[in-house]
Every structure is written in C-alpha cells, then in structure tokens.
Amino acid sequence: MNKMDFTDECLAFPDLYDIYQSAVFDKAALLESLRKIISDYTEKNILDCSVGTGFVIIDLIKEGVDIVCADGSSDMLKKFSLNAQSNGIKTRPIQINWENIGSTLPSMFDLILCRGNSIVYADMWDKENVIDSHEGIRASLKGIFDSIKLGGKLYIDIPSDARGKYLLGKDIDHHPKVINGKSIRVSERIEECTTKMKRKWDVKLKIENAEYGFSRFSHLIKEKDFIAILEDVGFKEIEKINSHGERNHHCAFLVSK
C-alpha cells in the first residue's frame, strides 16, 4: 500500500483522491482484472494515459510490467512520483494532454489504458461552466488513437447507461476503512443534468475527526454516443467487457485500431 501522509492540516486534491481510491475501490479485484487485460501485452508497449496518483498501476510496475505513465495534471504526477518513490519504483511520468499524445508519441503503443472514468472529464474537470459539446472527448480520443500502433488496443471506461438510480442524487456512504492507522469515511454524490448534459461529483472524506471534500464536473454521455465517437475517430471491434474492481456504475470497452 502506498504510504499516505495525513499530517498536513490541508491536504491537496491529489492526496485526497489517493485516499479516496484506497478507501472505495476493491484493489485486489481491480488488480486481477487489469492483469487479465494486459496479459497479452507484458512484452509490448503499454501506456496508462490517465495514471493519476498511480493507484494499482504502481503495483503492476512492481510486478515487473513495463508501463509508460502519463497524465495531464502536474499535481497528480507529483503525487504519483512520491507514491512510486515510496514503493521503490524508479519511473519518469510524462505530463501530456490526451489530444497531444498522438502528435508527440505517434503509433507507439500496443495497448493504452484510459481508466477511472477519466475521458468524460475531458475539457471539464474543475470547470463548472458547461461545455456544450463532446468535442473535447472526440479530440482526446483522436489523440489517443494516433498514439496506438495498427492492430493495437485501447481499454477505456465511462459511466454506464445501466447505472439506474445508483449514486444519482443520493449520498452514498461507503464502509469505513482504516488506512495507515487512520479511520477513513467516504461519502459521495453524483448529480446529472440531462438538459445541459453535465455531471457533478461531490466527495466528502472524514479522516479521523478532520473533514475534507472536493467537487468535479464532467460530460454526461450515453454509451451509444460514445461508441459513435469511437467509430468516427477510427476505432473498430468495439467490445464491451466486464472489469471487476472498477465502480459498478461504470462500463468498460476494449477497442482496436
């Protein structure tokens, strides 16, 4: 487990997100699922283009899988580097936006991972103002497409159409966990605005008696519309797959170039 520092009076977002992942995800199930996805690519070129703080990916690297790690956020990559260092991993992550991956690293990877429901945050994330199109998602997917070798694959997930009422407009209180001797409680809420096609994600964390929180914004996109963008960009053989350990309101795709 990554060493987490709870001593700061005001934890930065990457610290909070790191704690959130450890408190909410089934790490063992997620690792097993990702091992199956990358099993045919361990001797090939793999990129995680939304590596964030390195949750589970650092574990795979420790197991000997060579993964190029990238993210668009310098703050997230600083936390990633600290986590890697605390796990004895020497790696140099790349800060790059998705739309620029193809021009910077053209036709380089056999497998790209874009996990954690990341793609729907393209050109939104901390912006409350609605961006009234999916062009940011399209541009990001095009950049990713151009970085994949012919015959290579992309593993990517988005919110599922079948999520039903899970999380929508309700506070979901997760079972408390003890991490590094500290009691962690997580509550989250997702709200959707179908007229503006926007989602808002609110998270509250209680670490012992200290309370923290953050909000982020993303696009609301239907699976069929996402698939249509994948096809327009050039992806083919779009397969919806089960990915154990990811959130149960996400759906995952494995697609080919």
pLDDT of residue 146 exceeding 50, the answer is yes
Confidence at residue 4, expressed as pLDDT on a 0 to 100 scale: 46
Q: Is residue 215 part of a domain?
A: no
Domain extent for 109: 13-161+222-256
pLDDT of residue 120 exceeding 50, the answer is yes
Chain-wide mean pLDDT for the chain?
89
| 39, burial (CB in 10 Å: exposed 0-12, middle 13-18, buried 19+) | exposed
Q: Is residue 35 part of a domain?
A: yes
Confidence at residue 100, expressed as pLDDT on a 0 to 100 scale: 97
- 58 vs 196 pLDDT, higher one: 58
- Tell me how many domains the chain contains: 1
pLDDT of residue 70 exceeding 70, the answer is yes
- 248 vs 11 pLDDT, higher one: 11
Confidence at residue 163, expressed as pLDDT on a 0 to 100 scale: 63
Q: Is residue 170 part of a domain?
A: no
Per-residue pLDDT of 97-107, as tens digits, reads 999 999 999 99
pLDDT of residue 255 exceeding 80, the answer is yes
Looking at mean pLDDT, say which of 6-20, 29-43, 121-135, 231-245 comes out highest.
29-43
Q: Is residue 26 part of a domain?
A: yes
Out of 71-75, 78-82, 168-172, least confident range? 168-172
Q: What is the CATH number of the domain that holds 89?
A: 3.40.50.150
Mean pLDDT, range 130-139, rounded to an integer: 83
Mean pLDDT, range 138-151, rounded to an integer: 97
Q: Collect all residues with Cβ–Cβ distance below 8 Å to 133 and sequence separation of at least 6.
A: none
Residue 247: pLDDT band with limits 50, 70, 90: low
Q: Is residue 1 part of a domain?
A: no
Q: Is residue 235 part of a domain?
A: yes
Confidence at residue 102, expressed as pLDDT on a 0 to 100 scale: 97
Q: Is residue 238 part of a domain?
A: yes
Instruction: For the chain, give the secondary structure using H, E and C.
Output: CCCCCCCCCCCCHHHHHHHHHHHHCCHHHHHHHHHHHHHHHCCCCEEECCCCCCCCHHHHHHCCCCEEEEECCHHHHHHHHHHHHHCCCCCCCEECCHHHHHHHCCCCEEEEEECCCCHHHCCCECCCCCCCCCHHHHHHHHHHHHCEEEEEEEEEEEECHHHCCCCECCCEECCCEEECCEEEEEEEEEEEECCCCEEEEEEEEEECCEEEEEEEEEECCCHHHHHHHHHHHCCEEEEEECCCCCCCCEEEEEEEC
Q: Is residue 87 part of a domain?
A: yes
Confidence at residue 2, expressed as pLDDT on a 0 to 100 scale: 42
pLDDT of residue 1 exceeding 50, the answer is no
Mean pLDDT, range 63-75, rounded to an integer: 95
